[in-house]
Amino acid sequence: MSIHRRDFLKCTGIGSIVLSMPGLLGAFNGEIKSSKKFVKSICEMCSTRCPIEVRLDDNKNIFIQGNNFSKSTEGKICARGGSGVNQLFDPKRLVKPLMRVGEKGEGKWKEISWEEAYDFISKKLNELKQNYEPQSVAFAAKSGPEQIFLNQFAYAYGSPNIFDHGCTCPSSYTTALKSVYGTSSLSRDYSNTKFMLNFGHNVYEGIVISYVRDITKALSKGAKLISLDPRFSILSSKANEWLPIKPGGDVAFMLAFVHTLIFNELYDKKFIEKYTIGFDKLKESVKDYTPEKMAPYCDISAEKIVSLAKECASFAPHCIVDYGHRSTFSSEEIELRRAIAIANALLGNIESEGGMYFPKSASLYNKIACQKVAPEFKGSILPKISAPNIPRIDGVDIKRGEFSKISKSRGIYSKVFDAILNENPYPVKGLFITRSNPVMTINESQKVVEALKKLELFVCVDIYLGDSAQYADIILPESTYLERDEQFLSHNGKNPGYQVRQKVLEPIGDTKASSQIYKELAEKMGLDKFFPYKDIEDFRMKQAFEYPEEIFELKNKGILSYSIPLLARDKESIAKFIEKYPLSKQFLDKDGEFSELMKCKTESGKIELFDEVLEKACKRGGLSFNDPKLKTKDEQFYFIQGKVAVHTNAHTANVPWLNHLMDHNAVWINQNIANKLNLKKGDKIKIKSKFGEQIADVLPTIGIREDTLFGYFGFGHTSKWQQISYKKGISASHLLADTISPVSGNSVHTIGVNIEKI
């Protein structure tokens, strides 16, 4: 089938600037082709990557819906997932490689061929390697399946400096979980929980469909939900109780919570003795953090803290203290997230129904079952390259150092721009980014722009000419998720599984997948031995050639799950597993538990309640309290931010359907404060911090603390190609300080601000 350009342009209001801008879909004059009418795939309108199916009918319409084979989403998608076709046909999409012909940020470009782009990039990369050594080039990507190809290219080139977006989002909880459990892969059994404490993890707005459905199921069965959040979020509206905690006060609350569990002897003594190490040192570290002492810092009474700890413990192990996704992101994120991770261990909820569990890989599941239940696909067929023996710019590679809990593939992205400007610890002269937009996501964006303008080589791989890409030397157009195939991916839960992304249409214009881009660039530079595959189908076959029937089934269904769920300490789950796999009984310990599944990737092999590495590196082995002091003056407001259900940060800036639902981010302000300042809905205020200012519409509401302002992030674009129609409002990155949290390296997303009516 084919869809003509006129068919999708006639229903989209665009101006001549888009039709004449080189490289954009609005100037494309070809056809869109596909030989398929029904495809199972994976969404990428956000990072959750839900299973989808896409239908193409005889009238050339494309319809996206959920995949009914998915047990976790039950065939559902959100507004973002359903609007993927808008992104596919967006006239502002890039469909040709571009080369800058004017000054950086001036907006002058010319279309070039892929060969010309590769020639330019390879020549510049070789020059930078000769003049400054390979570590002078940094590589960053939005985390996801295609990140492995950028990282492989970076290591093959010789640079140790690879990054993803983690320091601006999930790095604090992944670092904390790794500290305590040795892995960041710890899942929550939301649907079966009976009690949950939630710190701003608003799954009904930062939507993860499986989380939404599971929490809703738990609530329908009578589970109790407590929301601790400075604002009345949608999740708060579904909670049994909303506690408007002070921004940054969550760490004080959790220290008092842990203190109460320990000193009131509410913890699971048998679990602690059997599966953990460091309890006595933990106890010593929190002895002074009584509820009475911590209450003023979180604005929640000591009596309430104690009662919640007792109530939570009464439901153990069928309870959850939710470790993320975000709250206010203070400088003490590592203490908050480690305290949460430790609290769950104290409650003994690991590998228990309604608690937490480790996802079961095929190899581990097969081992316990004593037979090959699930196929064991290779995760990657790329030759392993050790990290270049060159110091990184962020210190993540310092063995047993403060930041050593952060993955080398994650790093501390914000430090790249300091290194560019200050040339410390050495010059950074080149930057290569894939689907990353640091001008929108890194604090003090003015500094980011200054750094980007200083680079000798800046290459962007993206689907849009965005806020950061406007300063690039070369922009390479990536195919959207509906136009590319990807490798087979593990999709493990209580039992193992796999999923796969499959293209719906042939790539529009002259776009390519990252797996192809980095392979071809590597070939240009004589590094082709590091990419030993012809195409992504060849990659897949090398992953799973032993399992032809499973490959066929996976492509047909899009997602597969094998056998039955298993929780290592849940009696009912264990009984069902042994009934199905009798030989597995040999792995039961004296308590009738599969303790083999409880082995952690920590140095001790146990859950570590006290981190000896962090203690030696930065005196943070136990839990400690340091007042975040997120604002410096009483008359200031805390400025916090969060996600909205119909957008994915800056990623959906050009999606018409979503922007019709929400095209700007009015700032929440308490109704009492608005009355005092004579502010009405839609009035404009100037928000000023030490680092910048923004003009915002106000939304007065009783659903926020009087000392707090809130805005959804991902708005306030600076690229004129993304300002033509959509997503106005403020950008928080212009207000926030470029400050990172100890140990986790997280960007601090809260700051004190002053406001004035305009």
Considering only CA atoms, which of 44, 85, 77, 78 is closest in space to residue 61?
A: 85
- How far apart CA 478 and CA 474 sit, in angstroms, is 13
Structure-token pair, residue 703: 């659903």
The structural domains of the chain, ordered by start, are: 5-89 (2.20.25.90), 187-357+596-616 (3.40.228.10), 637-757 (2.40.40.20)
C-alpha pair distances (Å), 697 with each of 335, 682, 729: 35, 5, 8
Mean pLDDT of 316-323: 97
- Average pLDDT in the 250-264 region? 98
Q: What is the mean pLDDT of residues 724-735?
A: 73
Do 594 and 567 meet the contact criterion of CB atoms below 8 Å apart? Answer: no
**Side chain identity at 512, as an amino acid letter?**
K
Amino acid at 109: W
What is the model's pLDDT at position 19? 47
Q: In the predicted model, what is the mean pLDDT of residues 577-593?
A: 98
CA–CA gap between residue 527 and residue 587 (Å, rounded): 46
Residue 490, token pair as written in the block: 């593990």
d(CA 636, CA 667): 15
Q: How far apart are CA 560 and CA 209, in angstroms?
A: 18
Over the stretch 324-337, which tens digit does the pLDDT of each residue have?
876 457 899 999 99
Pairing assessment for the beta strands 98-100 and 474-477 based on DSSP bridges: antiparallel
Over pLDDT 90: what percentage of the chain?
82
pLDDT reading at 719 higher than 90: no
Phi-psi region of 165 (alpha: psi -120 to 50; beta: other; left: phi over 0): alpha
pLDDT tens track for 460-499? 999 999 899 999 999 999 999 999 999 999 999 999 999 9
pLDDT band at 167 (very low <50, low <70, confident <90, very high): confident
The torsion of the CA quartet 547, 552, 557, 561, rounded to 10 degrees, works out to -10
What order do you get walking across the sheet with 162-164 strand by strand? Answer: 109-111, 98-100, 474-477, 457-462, 430-434, 137-141, 162-164
Cα dist. 671→196, 513, 677, 699, 740 in Å? 29, 49, 10, 9, 32
- pLDDT higher than 70, residue 615: yes
* Residue 168's pLDDT band (cuts 50, 70, 90): confident
User: What one-character DSSP code corresponds to residue 69?
Assistant: T
Is residue 261 within 8 Å of 269, Cβ to Cβ?
A: no
CA–CA dist 740, 747 (Å, integer): 5
Ramachandran region, residue 276 (left: φ > 0; alpha: ψ -120 to 50; beta: rest): beta
C-alpha neighbours within 13 Å on the C-beta side of residue 707: 17
What's the pLDDT at 725? 43
Backbone angles phi, psi at 44, to 5 degrees: -145, 35
Residue 354 tokens, joined: 């309604």
Q: What count of Cα atoms within 13 Å lies in the side-chain half-sphere of residue 603?
A: 10
Burial of 490 (0-12, 13-18, 19+ CB in 10 A): middle
670 half-sphere exposure, CB direction, 13 A CA radius: 14
Residue type present at position 352: S
Choice among 251-265, 404-418, 649-663 with the minimum mean pLDDT: 649-663
Mean pLDDT score, 398-412: 96
If you average pLDDT over every residue of the chain, what do you get? 92
Residue 729: pLDDT band (50, 70, 90) is confident
Mean pLDDT of 606-628: 97
Question: With 50 as the cut, is the pLDDT of residue 13 above it?
Answer: no
Question: In the structure, what pLDDT confidence band is assigned to residue 721 with cuts at 50, 70 and 90?
Answer: low
Give the pLDDT confidence score for residue 724 in this predicted structure. 43
The CA distance from 94 to 445, in Å, is 24
E strand or H helix that includes residue 642: strand 637-642
In this prediction, residue 27 carries a pLDDT of 53
Please state the separation of Cα 266 from the chain's center in Å. Answer: 33
How far, in Å, CA of 285 to CA of 530, rounded? 48
pTM here is: 0.95
- Determine contact, residues 462/475, Cβ cutoff 8 Å: yes
Residue range 256-269: average pLDDT?
98
Q: Bigger pLDDT: 564 or 171?
A: 564
Which is higher by pLDDT, 715 or 297?
297
Given this model, what pLDDT does residue 717 score?
84
Task: Name the residue type at position 620.
Answer: R
> In the predicted model, is pLDDT for residue 277 greater than 80?
yes
Decide: 488 and 544 in contact? Cβ < 8 Å: yes
Q: Which of 12-16, 173-177, 592-596 has the lowest mean pLDDT?
A: 12-16
Cis (ω within 30 of 0) for the bond into 496?
no
The torsion of the CA quartet 165, 355, 579, 73, rounded to 10 degrees, works out to -50
Candidate from 13-17, 59-63, 149-153, 169-173 with smallest mean pLDDT:
13-17
Residue 5 pLDDT? 44
Token pair for residue 204? 């009904």
Task: Tell me the pLDDT band of 757, cut-offs 50, 70 and 90.
Answer: very high
Is 141 in contact with 500 (CB distance < 8 Å)? no
Q: Which two tokens stand for residue 424?
A: 């410390």
CA distance 92 to 89: 9
Q: Which two tokens stand for residue 695?
A: 């003009």
The amino acid sitting at 396 is: V
pLDDT at position 59 = 63
Identity (one letter) of the amino acid at 34?
A: S
Residue 661, CB half-sphere, CA atoms under 13 Å: how many?
A: 14
Give the relative orientation of helices 514-524 and 147-157 as an angle to the nearest 10 degrees: 20
CA 493 to chain centre: 18
**Could you read off the pLDDT of 679-714 as tens digits, one per residue?**
999 999 999 999 999 999 999 999 999 999 999 988
Query: Is 650's pLDDT higher than 90?
Result: no
Half-sphere exposure of 14 (CA within 13 A, CB side): 26
Cβ-Cβ contacts under 8 Å for 462 (sequence gap 6 or more): 94, 433, 434, 435, 469, 475, 476, 477, 478
Phi, psi dihedrals of residue 61, rounded to the nearest 5°: -95, 145
For 231, half-sphere exposure in the C-beta direction (CA atoms, 13 angstrom radius) is 28
Partner residues linked to 710 by β-bridges: 640, 668
Report CA-CA distances (Å) from 649 to 328, 480, 720: 16, 17, 18
Please report the pLDDT score of residue 156 as a whole number: 98
Residue from 151, 178, 250 nearest 745 by CA = 178
